[in-house]
Amino acid sequence: MANVESKFAGRNVFAKSFYISIRALVVFLCRTWLRLNVSGSHNVPKNGAFILAPTHRSTVDIPIASAVTRRRMRFMGKDSLWKVKFIGSFFSALGAFPVTRGSADLEALKRCISILQSGEPLVLFPEGTRRIGSEVVDLFDGAAYISLKTGLPIVPVGIAGSEQVMQTGSKMIWPKRCYAMVGEPIFPQQQDGKRASREEIAALTVQIQDSLQRLFNEAEARINKR
């Protein structure tokens, strides 16, 4: 048992050290090439698990999300990225975990809840996929459901400028200015062991949407001022 725990601890230490190294490089590139500015990082909890919920306009939102805190974040990724063992190990070390696309949402929800219950923060994009434009609409209920299920806060992040950096289908990363605005944590209503109702999930989703829209608008305004 001691050998197993020691081996697991060693892997965990390696994963965190690897993440710190790669994150430092990624954040440096974001701050130089994308001239990324981040405001409100003090709203990110220093300890314990939470759900980071950014807006989603581009693939570069993923590295930008890692720039809002030095803590190791966990990300979902399509399982095809793990088909090559070396690449899969690389993503796993960076905090990503595979989810089968087209499978029941229940699988993804269970994995997210398991990670949060282990004490690690998780990145979830409430919009589900990359969107176009400045309107934050049609959010999925996943983030609200998981928050109510675990009792953990949601930290909203409005990311502006990323749509111009890398549009859907483009392979070019243009040197456009980006801004990430981190909002105050949104705490779910305590359930006291009861199952959250659809109305409670929908109400929390609306609260997340309103916060993300406000933060996105503010982030866009910061970019336009420069």
More confident residue, 50 or 128: 50
pLDDT for the residue 121: 95
Neighbour count for residue 192 (Cβ, 10 Å) = 6
Q: Does residue 15 have a pLDDT over 80?
A: no
Reported confidence tier of residue 16, pLDDT bands at 50, 70, 90: confident
Contacts of 106 (CB under 8 A, 6+ apart): none
Q: Do residues 175 and 156 make contact, with C-beta atoms less than 8 angstroms apart?
A: no
Taking the C-alpha atoms of residue 45 and residue 155, their distance in angstroms, rounded to an integer, is 9
Taking the C-alpha atoms of residue 89 and residue 81, their distance in angstroms, rounded to an integer, is 10
Reported confidence tier of residue 2, pLDDT bands at 50, 70, 90: very low
What would the two tokens of residue 184 be?
């105050």
**Residue ranges per structural domain of the chain:** 2-225
More confident residue, 222 or 168: 222
Taking the C-alpha atoms of residue 100 and residue 110, their distance in angstroms, rounded to an integer, is 13
Reported confidence tier of residue 3, pLDDT bands at 50, 70, 90: very low
pLDDT for the residue 107: 76
More confident residue, 220 or 170: 220
Q: Do residues 32 and 56 make contact, with C-beta atoms less than 8 angstroms apart?
A: no
Q: Does residue 9 have a pLDDT over 80?
A: no
Reported confidence tier of residue 35, pLDDT bands at 50, 70, 90: very high
pLDDT for the residue 10: 43
Taking the C-alpha atoms of residue 187 and residue 73, their distance in angstroms, rounded to an integer, is 19
Reported confidence tier of residue 103, pLDDT bands at 50, 70, 90: low
Taking the C-alpha atoms of residue 145 and residue 148, their distance in angstroms, rounded to an integer, is 5
Q: Does residue 7 have a pLDDT over 50?
A: no
pLDDT for the residue 218: 97
What would the two tokens of residue 196 be?
């959250």
Average pLDDT in the chain:
86
Bridge partners for 52 per DSSP = 123, 155
- The closest of 162, 47, 66 to 123, measured between CA atoms, is 66
Neighbour count for residue 196 (Cβ, 10 Å) = 17
Q: Does residue 180 have a pLDDT over 90?
A: yes
Which residue in this structure is represented by tokens 């919009």? 127
pLDDT for the residue 11: 52
Homologous superfamily of domain range 2-225:
Glycerol-3-phosphate (1)-acyltransferase (3.40.1130.10)
pLDDT for the residue 176: 92
What value does the mean pLDDT take over residues 199-205? 95
> What is 71-133 written as a DSSP string?
SPPBEEEEGGGGSSHHHHHHHHHTTEEEE-TTS-HHHHHHHHHHHHHTT--EE--TT-S---S
**Greatest mean pLDDT among 8-17, 86-95, 169-178:** 169-178
> What is 191-225 written as a DSSP string?
-TTPPPPHHHHHHHHHHHHHHHHHHHHHHHHHHHH
